[in-house]
Structure 1
Amino acid sequence: MPYGIMWRRHRRAFHEHFHANTVHRYLPIQVKETQAFLRRLLKTPQNFMHHIRHIFGSTIMSITYGLPVLESDDPYITLAEEVLQGASEAGIPGTFLVDLLPFLKYVPSWFPGAGFKRKAAHYAAINAEVANQPFITVQTKLAEGTAIPCILTSLLEEFPGNEELGRAEEELISRNTAGIAYLAGADTTVSTTQTFFLAMAMHPEVLRKAQAEIDAVMGINRLPDFNDRPYLPYINAIMKETMRWQLVLLELKNELHYIYKLLQPLYT
């Protein structure tokens, strides 16, 4: 987003809930969703790719909107995946003819070869739905008194710096902040975890050593939690190497730029 007043207001709202001294509040949700993920993995290990996407979709949905997700075909996750698919398509240079012939952006959508415009309009509509649908649901629950405390309810109830803003602008930034938290968070963590599964399949000797460390610290009667991290140096090293080995952030930069382009009409 270009630097300016709107950028600063969005950043302030986002930072309020995602700075280093705040994210510890989300650890219980992460533990709960991880345990559910492990049960699914034990039951149907062949569906591990779906289970990975489900855990992070469910985790970020709970943290951001306080909304549960369905075991399969959840409407929120389905919509978000379609938007991310559009981001992946558009992020590859040369996918569309307009990448090579920029003047085509001025032709009408019905013009031969302008199919990219119809596709872009479709993804823009889907993206607006991703931002609006859960936002409206939480707004309704908030009015009914049934909303689960989450980032969005916090923003709607007490927006940071609200003395400078009108209610409509507060709601707009709250909606965008929640939407970008979901879209940016769900896909990157999924990619990183898929990379972890690939790494363990390629290096079974590392897997055996990691399992031995967990067994030595936890035994066989309980699962590890965040309090065990200081006692699991090898596991921590694997996690850091997973994030370093196949870096997701370069892809994320392109995706965020694309998502901003889609969100732009919502706040201009």
Structure 2
Amino acid sequence: MIENVVLGFLAFAAAILLKIPMSTRRHRLPVPPGPPGTLFIGNLLDIPTIKPWLAYRDWSELYGDIIYMDLPMKSILVVGSIQAAKDLFDRKSYKYSSRPGSVMIKLLSWDWVFSSLPYGQQWRTYHRHFHEHFAGTAVRRYDSIQLQESRTLLKRILSNSEAARTYIRSVPGSTIIRAAYGAHSTAKTDEYVQLAEKAMESARRIVVPAAFMAEIIPILKYIPGWMPGGSARAYAAKYKPFVQQMRDRPFDEVKQAASSGRSIPCAAYDLIRQLQGDSAELTPEQDTVARNVAGIAYAGASDTTTAAIENCVLAMAMFPDVQRRVQVELDERVGSTRLPEFSDLDGLTYLNAVIMESLRWMPVAPLGIPHALSEDDEYNGYYIPKGTMVVSNIWAMLQNPDDFPEPEQFKPERFLDAQGNIDPSVLDPRHIGFGFGRRVCPGSDFALRLLSICVASLLHVYQIEAGVDESGDPVVLSKEGGDEAIVPIQLASNIPPKLQAQVRNLGPFRETFERFCALIITIY
């Protein structure tokens, strides 16, 4: 340990000394503008760690669409406009499709997640298998699961509206667990949902550039957690077991069932059989592929889709006029004698506009996932060196008043034309919020489909209102509030008795579905 610290310190010192001539030398083009740095440490003290997208937006107003920051052992480029993002991530995707190395990702053992892999053959293999099972038309095989979980949510809320937020948060996790690993008991599913939530707590922080000094000064990764400066190892010690269990426990359960000859309707089982072929068992390499592909579905969907649903529910509580308009559309299109189906979604134009506006108003990943430049580049007269971490300020792009007038307002109408149809001339937040280029979020199709059917189901049955505080007064909601509960969710007074009866008679939450799955041998 002491040797590692000494070697790390010497490497860090050498990097700073070597950085001086590199940062001061004359290149034929200047680097992009950015906040002025300090000798030796550059912009190390300038990096914001609390809502950094706000500071980056303000800097973009001073320095332009791209902002360059120089750190002791790396440089960061923040892309602040949609045009610059398309120019770099889309048109030059061959340069901008890799990922930066991360000390915290390795310490937490998140390096199995293929979204963090550098661009190359391994990433392409994972991406191909993931797309086969969780993207495009493949997601329709999970419609029955998504619909059943959305309706389970309705009944749970009817039984206990005080726990509405907890039930809402559980829907994406339980849905993707079923899709990726098959049906489980309610207790086991809830256990896996909680495991994923705990693991994803660690991921939310490490995606913020420079949130940990160990990313800037790698020597710090060797300092024990109990010592000053050891926050990286202390953080990893807390969360690493959850990250590893999240990937391994549900997959090992499916793998054991497959080895014993049992067929389980789920993506993990399909992957095992697909990769195994006629062999008796998976090779270690095949096991890693199947385990990691199923794991990233479980990790990604459970977190981002949860945030997307919560944000939309929050918007409905804050803007009751918008909520009423969605409910009128649902009454007209779906009627008062049944619940929404996937076949209804295309005709629910205003609901689709609400979904789009929710994703714009509160993007679930304000800075996306950082890219890395794999070779030197030139853009708009500026030089961007190889190895630069490239961050897209998605929040600022979706708040740009030139593209979205009055961006602070929640206005689904901005996406509709004069005839009430989706206006193709208005930028679609769904094509921005999930990233750019070859590293666009591969699970967006699954997430959007679940988001739409879940919100449609909720709004067709319930009136969403703010909860009350300890004094019994309504909670003042805002999109900055974060943790205020949006409970209780009230049963809408205008919902006909037949529809209320449908919710009450949906049957046990999951038990009927579980018994059905136990009898099915055919995979989807």
Give the TM-score normalised by structure 1: 0.84
Q: Which amino acid aligns with 1:32?
A: Q
| Distance (whole Å) between structure 2 residues aligned to residue 142 and residue 252 of structure 1 | 36
C-alpha RMSD over aligned residues: 2.6
Deviations 1:196-248 (A, max 9, x none): 11111111111111111111222221001111123321112212222222111
Deviations 1:61-112 (A, max 9, x none): 0001103253698221122111111122334456545467553224344543
Q: Does 1:15 align with 2:131?
A: yes
The match for 1:242 is 358
The counterpart of 1:228, out of the listed 327, 344, 351, is: 344
- Greater Cα shift, 102-111 or 28-37: 102-111
The match for 1:121 is 237
Give the TM-score normalised by structure 2: 0.45
| Aligned partner of residue 68 in structure 1, secondary structure | coil
The match for 2:76 is none
The counterpart of 1:67, out of the listed 158, 180, 183, is: 183
Distance change in 2, residues 1:162/1:104 (3 Å): farther
Distance change in 2, residues 1:142/1:252 (3 Å): farther
Q: Which amino acid aligns with 1:240?
A: M
Q: Does 1:6 align with 2:122?
A: yes
Distance change in 2, residues 1:8/1:126 (3 Å): same
- Greater Cα shift, 131-140 or 235-244: 235-244
| Distance (whole Å) between structure 2 residues aligned to residue 72 and residue 241 of structure 1 | 35
| Distance (whole Å) between structure 2 residues aligned to residue 38 and residue 83 of structure 1 | 27
Q: Does 1:151 align with 2:278?
A: no
Q: Does 1:176 align with 2:295?
A: no
- Greater Cα shift, 190-199 or 82-91: 82-91
| Aligned partner of residue 228 in structure 2, secondary structure | coil
Does the aligned pair in 1 maintain the 2:169–2:310 contact within 8 Å?
Answer: no
Q: Which amino acid aligns with 1:192?
A: A
Q: Does 1:140 align with 2:251?
A: no
The match for 2:305 is 189
Does the aligned pair in 2 maintain the 1:61–1:69 contact within 8 Å?
Answer: no
Deviations 1:164-184 (A, max 9, x none): xx7221111110111111111
| Distance (whole Å) between structure 1 residues aligned to residue 129 and residue 140 of structure 2 | 17
| Distance (whole Å) between structure 1 residues aligned to residue 130 and residue 225 of structure 2 | 36
| Aligned partner of residue 175 in structure 2, secondary structure | helix
Does the aligned pair in 2 maintain the 1:162–1:170 contact within 8 Å?
Answer: no
| Distance (whole Å) between structure 1 residues aligned to residue 341 and residue 125 of structure 2 | 35
The match for 1:259 is none
| Distance (whole Å) between structure 2 residues aligned to residue 69 and residue 248 of structure 1 | 30
Q: Deviation of residue 156 (structure 1)?
A: 0.1
Q: Deviation of residue 134 (structure 1)?
A: 0.5
The match for 1:43 is 159
- Greater Cα shift, 186-195 or 15-24: 15-24
Does the aligned pair in 1 maintain the 2:207–2:369 contact within 8 Å?
Answer: no
| Distance (whole Å) between structure 1 residues aligned to residue 208 and residue 345 of structure 2 | 38
Distance change in 2, residues 1:109/1:200 (3 Å): closer
Count of residues in Structure 1 that have an aligned counterpart in Structure 2: 252
Q: Gaps (5+ residues) in structure 1?
A: 255-268
- Greater Cα shift, 230-239 or 110-119: 110-119
**If you compute each CA radius of gyration, which structure gives the higher value, 1 or 2?**
2
The match for 1:107 is 223
Q: Does 1:83 align with 2:205?
A: no
Q: Deviation of residue 140 (structure 1)?
A: 1.5
Higher helix proportion: 1
Q: Deviation of residue 41 (structure 1)?
A: 1.9
Higher RCO by CA contacts (8 Å cutoff, separation 6 or greater) = 1
Distance change in 2, residues 1:146/1:72 (3 Å): closer
| Distance (whole Å) between structure 2 residues aligned to residue 25 and residue 251 of structure 1 | 31
Q: Does 1:219 align with 2:312?
A: no
| Distance (whole Å) between structure 1 residues aligned to residue 245 and residue 302 of structure 2 | 17
Q: Deviation of residue 160 (structure 1)?
A: 9.4
| Distance (whole Å) between structure 1 residues aligned to residue 278 and residue 203 of structure 2 | 32
Distance change in 2, residues 1:139/1:252 (3 Å): farther
Q: Deviation of residue 26 (structure 1)?
A: 1.1
- Greater Cα shift, 51-60 or 233-242: 233-242
Deviations 1:29-82 (A, max 9, x none): 111111101111222222222111211111000001103253698221122111
The counterpart of 2:145, out of the listed 5, 12, 29, is: 29
Q: Deviation of residue 162 (structure 1)?
A: 10
Distance change in 2, residues 1:92/1:160 (3 Å): same
| Aligned partner of residue 118 in structure 2, secondary structure | coil
